[in-house]
Every structure is written in structure tokens, then in C-alpha cells.
Amino acid sequence: MNLLFGVPLVWGVCLTALDVLIILHLQQKGFRYLEALVISLIAVIGFCFALEIIFSRPEFVAIAHGFFVPSREILSDTTMLYIAIGILGATVMPHNLYLHSAAVQTRNYERTPEGKREAIKYFQIDSAFALMLALFINAAILIVSAATFYRVGMNHVGEIQDAYKLLTPVLGVTGASTLFALALLASGQNSTLTGTLAGQIVMEGFLNIRLKPWLRRLITRLIAIIPAVIVTWFYGASGTAKLLILSQVVLSLQLSFAVFPLVIFTSDRRKMGEFVNAPWLKGLAWTTGIFIASLNAWLLVQTFRDWMA
């Protein structure tokens, strides 16, 4: 392994251990403290990328057309579809569906129809806000990259470490690279915290595995970090960049296994009673779920076809 990657690897292991300690400490104080930390990290990410967008001065009309109005070429170009699917997985992460659902149980609300309805309302607001913020952050990364590098013809910049080194000299703004690095650090810590909590929920609620809190969190983090260690060891920074995109694509592929059971459960009147999904919501949920599953299936078909060619 190149020694240049040894320091980031050790740093990553140290941050993972720190995350475990933070979660253990904050959960003893209450779930609200963990939520406050996650909100603070998200605020840091949003602030940093908002500044980066201001510095890069993108063309907002082109953004609206190119980013929010996908072209048909995505369905025929495997690389474009691969990246688009990765963005989808990074924005609507399946494990966060479990985490948000479990977070409702920590709310202090009256166990009456009115109290449950109020809890559901605030849960919907919380989920919608979190997803929109995730969309903004993922969009901001693409917007800043395109507005900064594509505009000056630097089309070869395709990895995070290259973007970090070149942001300040290209934009001519002192601290632009540092802001980018700070946003990525906060994003990584936020993903680690939420991923660890989601892993805990799955282990306890679905698998019924009861372990000591520190051991449970250590196991979930080791499972997550081992692939990154192996890829970094053998392939270096370029390998970790490819692994990052692949992990986001895998998240999208897993979405159907979280979304479809959720729609079925919440559409069952025997389980939900008066809180069952309205017909229009059920139709919208099924349409969205089938659309996501169709994109994932088409990506698999294209990928296998390219392999066989």
C-alpha cells in the first residue's frame, strides 16, 4: 500500500472509534442530543456548499435544465445511468427509512388518535426536510464541480482529491478547498453516525440480536469499514473513489427491499387502522417504487449486456 494512503486510513479508523464513543455518550443523555449533533453536521455541510455555489457562480438556468430535467440519453448510456442511480441511492438511503421510523418511537406524544396524528405530521415534515437537504447537498457537489472545472475545460477532474486540490486555484478564492474538505468531513461523520444507529435498529428490531452497546456499535462499524480498508490497501485513492460510487449504487438497488414492504405495511388497514395510506398516496408510493425498481433493473440489464459484449 502506498504510504500516502496510510495516514488517511489510520485517520478514518480513529474517526470510526470516535463515532462509537460519541454515540455511546450521547445516547446515555437522550436521543435528542444525537439529533442535535446530526442537525449541526448537516448545517455545516449546507453552509459550506452554499458558499461554494456562490464562489463558483453557476448558470442557474442551465442547472434547472441539465440537473432537474433528465435527458433520454441516461437510459441508453450505462455510465450516465450508473451515476444517476448512485445519486438516487445517496439521497434516499434505505437504512434511513428504518432510522426515521424508529426515531418516531422516541417522541413524547399522547397515545391517542390525535397524538399519533400529530406525531405522524411532524415525522413527515422531518423526513421531507431531510430528503430535500440531501438532494441539495448532492446537487451542490455536481453544480460546483461543473461550474468550476467544466467551464475552464478541466474535464479530467473526476475524483474528490483532485477537486479538493484544484478548487482554490481555479476559483481564486482562499479557503475554497478547505470549505470543501470540511463539508466532506462533516458529511462522512454524519453518514457514520446515522449508519451506526440504523445498524443498531436493524440488529435489535429485525434480527433480535442483543449485545452490549459498545460491542454492537463496534461490530456495525467494523463491517462498514473493512471493505474500505481492503480497497484502499490494494487500489489506493482511485479505488476508494470507485467504491464510493458503487456503494451508492448498491444503496439504490436496496431501496426496493425497504420501500415495497413499507408501502405494503402502511397500506394495510388491519395494521394501520385509521392511519392507513390514502388511495392517492398509495398510488403515488407504488408508482415511485416501481419507477425506482425499473431504473435499477435496467441498469443491471445494461451492465450484464456490456459484460457479455
Residue whose C-alpha is closest to residue 161's, from 242, 44, 75, 223: 242
**H-assigned helices in the chain:** 6-29, 31-56, 60-66, 73-76, 78-91, 94-104, 113-149, 160-171, 176-201, 213-266, 269-272, 279-308
Q: Tell whether the model's pLDDT for residue 270 goes beyond 80.
A: yes
User: What pLDDT score was predicted for residue 1?
Assistant: 42
| Per-residue model confidence as pLDDT tens digits over 223-268 | 767 777 777 777 766 677 777 788 888 888 888 888 898 899 889 9
Give the residue from 58, 54, 56 showing the smallest Cα distance to 67: 58
Task: Give 48 or 196, the one with higher predicted confidence.
Answer: 48
Residue ranges per domain, the chain? 3-69+76-308
Write the pLDDT tens digit of every residue in 91-106. 887 877 777 777 777 7
